[in-house]
Amino acid sequence: MFNNSQAAATTSRRSAGERTKVLIFEKALELFRNKGYEATTMRDIARAAKVATGAAYYYFPSKEAIVSAYYEQVQVLHAAKVREKLAGKEELRERLASVLHLRLEILKDDRKFLGALFRYTGEPGHPLSVFGKGTEAQRKQSVEIFREALGGSELAEEWKELLPWGLWLAHLAMILYFIHDESEGQANTHKLVDRFVEMLVGLGEFADSALVRPFLKPLQGKMMEMLREAAGTKQA
Amino acid sequence: MFNNSQAAATTSRRSAGERTKVLIFEKALELFRNKGYEATTMRDIARAAKVATGAAYYYFPSKEAIVSAYYEQVQVLHAAKVREKLAGKEELRERLASVLHLRLEILKDDRKFLGALFRYTGEPGHPLSVFGKGTEAQRKQSVEIFREALGGSELAEEWKELLPWGLWLAHLAMILYFIHDESEGQANTHKLVDRFVEMLVGLGEFADSALVRPFLKPLQGKMMEMLREAAGTKQA
DNA sequence: AAGTATATCTGAACATGTTCATTTTTCGCT
DNA sequence: AGCGAAAAATGAACATGTTCAGATATACTT
């Protein structure tokens, strides 16, 4: 997949193949952005990159795989931006909000084809299913970012495991909302993110207050059990 | 779409077209169940119903539309079963649980092709998008069932509007989980439903207790605002 | 019964994602 | 420079969802 840096350094340029792959990828995104995902044909993409139709399939196993590769790139970019932005911040509310807003920032021009990511959500066997085996690595990576965002917050051990996963799920929901959001600059989604984070933090503080903790215990148990079950990958 | 009952009574049988439509529909479901959605071809369906390929398109605008029609049928069946089952019951926990378990009951043999329902979740413009304009009627109908399930519970006015919609959303999540659930008889999904309902009812009682209500007020405000925003169909 | 409009149905043609046998290019090696 | 294997690329062929111009059947009117 990647050249080792040694080779890259000596030849001082990507291999021919790598260059074509990038070209196809970029032309594809350009077309997706301009005409939308559906309206863009694999033949269009190939033509734009000046290769034969089949060449695209030499580098990407399917049309959706291009969007998937795009999203992987988003992930990397996001991780970098998050690390940079969170460096100085301590406040949980701010940290969480940053992570989510940054994600939206990166996706802002690509709502037209983001929907392709969700196409196989309901088909566990498909290699591109959001919840499937085939996307496990990406998913883990994404969850990691949220774990980092939670950072130094003091949380019960159990929540430390579940919350990042829950946030990842919430982030999926956010993207879905984002796709449907026709407000100027998707302001509504950004507002929703702020509300959500405030609510979450408020909920945390509330649950932590000495006054209600005893009453909350049994409820929390049920909730935890439910989430743990839902989060589990495989069950008998 | 429907014969008026007068005509049906006098002719004592469905029109030829109606019969073909039903035949195509049933053969399609049979094939979906046996071979899965992807593996079933429109040509397969037509052949099984002994008509030409184009005939299927005379009755259903697309392959997914068949699944959509199936789900509409599920809705009707579910509404009937719910009304029957809830007749005697008063307890909220039991009512909610019944509604959800009944839905699963109806879907139990059809996990193989339920995924097709979610295919256009991320494409607002598509006529079959779960959150789109084209499915609004079905959505409303489904939300109605949950409103009925909530029945006589005393709820704040605002929750009366939002909760049924939230339950509909939860029910979508349930189906997604159900599709991925490989446990015997999808026992895990049923367990999850019970936990969820218990949690919900517990949460309600908790929020209602005189002790915590004052502390909860501001939180509830934020939450409500968030949900109301999220539930809104169109925004500037 | 004949005529006409409407409903139903046909099957070839089309568009597009995908596969694959084959050809061309690249690149390290001698 | 020349060779051979691996990589890259080709474009025709295929599968399948979908469309459509036309054929056939049904039902209603006179």
**pLDDT tens profile A9-35:** 323 356 777 899 999 999 999 999 999
Contact B235 A191 (CB under 8 A): no
Q: What confidence category does residue B43 fall into, taking pLDDT thresholds of 50, 70 and 90?
A: very high
Chain B residue whose CA is closest to A38: B123
Q: Looking up tokens 């509830």, which residue turns up?
A: B220
What pLDDT does residue A160 have? 86
Radius of gyration of chain A (CA): 21
What pLDDT does residue B3 have? 34
Q: What is the signed CA dihedral for A32, A33, A34, A35, rounded to 10 degrees?
A: 40
Contact B183 A236 (CB under 8 A): yes
Chain B residues near residue A216 by CB distance under 8 angstroms? 206
> Taking all residues of chain A, what is their mean pLDDT, rounded to a whole number?
88
Percent of chain B with pLDDT over 70: 92
**How many Å apart are CA B203 and CA B205, to the nearest integer?**
6
Q: What confidence category does residue A154 fall into, taking pLDDT thresholds of 50, 70 and 90?
A: confident
pLDDT single digits (tens) A124-149: 999 999 999 999 999 999 999 999 99
Chain A residues near residue B117 by CB distance under 8 angstroms? 122
Contact A196 B235 (CB under 8 A): no
pLDDT single digits (tens) A188-218: 999 999 999 998 998 888 777 777 777 777 7
The alpha carbon of residue B74 is apart from the nearest alpha carbon of chain A, in Å, by 18
Does A60 have pLDDT greater than 50?
A: yes
Percent of chain B with pLDDT over 90: 70
What pLDDT does residue B232 have? 65
Does the predicted model carry a pTM greater than 0.75? Answer: yes
Does B191 have pLDDT greater than 90?
A: yes
What pLDDT does residue B21 have? 97
What pLDDT does residue A3 have? 34
What pLDDT does residue B14 have? 65
B131 vs B215, higher pLDDT: B131
Question: Mean pLDDT, to the nearest integer, of A70-87?
Answer: 96
What pLDDT does residue A232 have? 64
Chain B residue whose CA is closest to A36: B123
Chain B residues near residue A202 by CB distance under 8 angstroms? 218-219, 222
Q: Which nucleotide is nearest to A38 (CA to C1')?
A: C16
Nucleotides of D strand lying within 7 Å of any protein CB atom:
7-13, 15-21, 25-27
Contact B219 A199 (CB under 8 A): yes
Does A64 have pLDDT greater than 80?
A: yes
Does B1 have pLDDT greater than 50?
A: no
B216 vs B24, higher pLDDT: B24
What pLDDT does residue B15 have? 74
A192 → closest Cβ in B120, B188, B230: B230
Contact B122 A119 (CB under 8 A): yes
What letter would DSSP give residue A120?
Answer: T
Given CA atoms B117, B123, B124, B126 in this order, what sign does their dihedral have?
Answer: negative
Question: Mean pLDDT, to the nearest integer, of B220-236?
Answer: 67
Contact B199 A219 (CB under 8 A): yes
Q: Which long-range contacts (CB under 8 A, 24 or more apart) does B136-144 make?
A: B138/B71, B138/B72, B138/B75, B139/B168, B141/B75, B141/B79, B142/B75, B142/B168, B142/B171, B143/B167, B143/B168
Does B173 have pLDDT greater than 90?
A: yes
Does A1 have pLDDT greater than 50?
A: no
Q: Nearest protein residue to D9's C1' (by CA)?
A: A55
What pLDDT does residue B13 have? 53
Report the range of poorest mean pLDDT among A189-203, B86-100, B143-157, B161-175.
B143-157
What pLDDT does residue A9 have? 30
Does B9 have pLDDT greater than 50?
A: no
What pLDDT does residue A7 have? 33
What pLDDT does residue B153 have? 78
What pLDDT does residue A8 have? 32
Does A151 have pLDDT greater than 60?
A: yes
The alpha carbon of residue A18 is apart from the nearest alpha carbon of chain B, in Å, by 31
Using a 7 A cutoff on CB, list residues near strand C: A 11, 15-16, 40-43, 53-54, 57, 61-64; B 15-18, 20-21, 51-55, 57-58
Q: What is the DSSP string of chain B?
A: ----HHHHHHH-S--HHHHHHHHHHHHHHHHHHHH-TTT--HHHHHHHTTS-HHHHHHH-SSHHHHHHHHHHHHHHHHHHHHHHHHSS---HHHHHHHHHHHHHHHHTT-HHHHGGGGTTTT-TTSTT-TTSGGGHHHHHHHHHHHHHHHTT----HHHHHHHHHHHHHHHHHHHHHHHH--SGGGHHHHHHHHHHHHHHHHHHHHHHSTTTHHHHHHHHHHHHHHHHHHH-S---
